[in-house]
């Protein structure tokens, strides 16, 4: 015997509920294979599922849209910090600034190498060290470095920090939406399973095949095993396999 397969995708879940609702809307209460109470539940479950899915998709789209801006500002902040450090190293090399001044920026242990700027944390951490270091050096009588100026480094770092905070909040929102969507998928599948049980219980037919065909009109999906497919004629398969869910 073929086995019943619950929806495995969001489109399939919506399609299953829509099939039951469409048939219910054109079938009298007396002939309908599920109760009026179940019908009301079905409408509510569908609304809840679709609204949760819509919110989840909306949150993902917002995150993806901001991700491009995040990446651009990240690259810009990295460039300004690295260029400033290179300019600082060159002034030291030209002996315009003493080597000891690198201690203000905590760069004295890097042996002339650029600090690691590969992650969000590293960019913010080293950006703040460079900004604070330049301010300390100037307070001790040093001349400001230009091209780029520390003011421009500060602007680019702040822009990145702002988008980083926004993205952190968006990730939290998307994680909550994802968890909510997971729960709704489970509860929706549980409801669809109960709905299909009720339909199969109330569909009247002496023939298992005819009963299955009636149930399929409500959106129930049956899957034949390989051995069963081989035994069935091609004509029977065309009649029985009415739905194909991804």
Lowest mean pLDDT among 1-5, 19-23, 190-194: 1-5
Residue 189 has pLDDT above 90, yes or no: yes
List of residues 6+ apart from 35 with CB closer than 8 A = 198
b/e map 23-39, b = 16+ CB within 10 Å: bbeeeeeeebbbeeebb
Dihedral over alpha carbons 50, 56, 57, 63 (to 10 degrees): 170
Number of domains making up the chain:
1
For the residues 130-142, what does the mean pLDDT come to? Answer: 96
> Per-residue pLDDT tens for 14-27?
999 999 999 999 99
Q: Provide the whole-model pTM.
A: 0.75
Q: Provide the terminal-to-terminal Cα distance of the chain, rounded to the nearest Å.
A: 21
Residue 238 has pLDDT above 70, yes or no: no
Residue 239 has pLDDT above 70, yes or no: no
Dihedral over alpha carbons 151, 152, 154, 155 (to 10 degrees): 120
3-state helix/strand/coil string of 121-139:
HHHHHHHHHHHHHHHHHHH
Helix (H, G, I), strand (E, B) or coil at 214: helix
Q: For residue 227, what pLDDT band results from cuts at 50, 70 and 90?
A: low
Q: For residue 1, what pLDDT band results from cuts at 50, 70 and 90?
A: low
Confirm if 130 and 148 have CB atoms less than 8 A apart: no
For the residues 215-229, what does the mean pLDDT come to? Answer: 81
Residue 184 has pLDDT above 70, yes or no: yes
Q: For residue 241, what pLDDT band results from cuts at 50, 70 and 90?
A: very low
Domain that holds residue 173: 3-244
Residue 88 has pLDDT above 50, yes or no: yes
């Amino acid at each position: 015997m073929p086995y019943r397969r619950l929806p495995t995708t969001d489109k399939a879940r919506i399609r299953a509920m829509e099939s039951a609702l469409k048939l219910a809307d054109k079938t009298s209460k007396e002939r309908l294979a599920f109760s009026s109470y179940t019908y009301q539940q079905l409408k509510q479950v569908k609304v809840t599922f679709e609204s949760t899915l819509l919110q989840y998709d909306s949150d993902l789209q917002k995150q993806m849209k901001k991700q491009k801006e995040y990446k651009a500002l990240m690259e810009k902040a990295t460039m300004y910090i690295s260029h400033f450090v290179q300019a600082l190293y060159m002034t030291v090399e030209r002996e315009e600034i003493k080597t000891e001044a690198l201690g203000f920026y905590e760069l004295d242990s890097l042996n002339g190498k650029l600090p690691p700027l590969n992650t969000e944390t590293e960019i913010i951490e080293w950006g703040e060290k460079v900004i604070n270091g330049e301010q300390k050096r100037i307070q001790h009588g040093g001349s400001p470095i230009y091209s780029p100026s520390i003011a421009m480094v500060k602007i680019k770092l702040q822009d990145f920090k702002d988008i980083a905070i926004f993205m952190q909040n968006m990730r939290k929102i998307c994680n909550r939406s994802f968890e909510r969507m997971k729960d709704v998928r489970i509860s929706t599948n549980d409801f669809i399973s109960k709905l299909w049980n009720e339909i199969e219980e109330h569909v009247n037919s002496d023939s298992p095949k005819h009963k299955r065909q009636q149930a399929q009109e409500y959106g129930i999906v049956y899957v034949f095993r390989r051995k069963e497919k081989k035994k069935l004629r091609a004509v029977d398969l065309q009649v029985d396999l009415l739905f194909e869910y991804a």
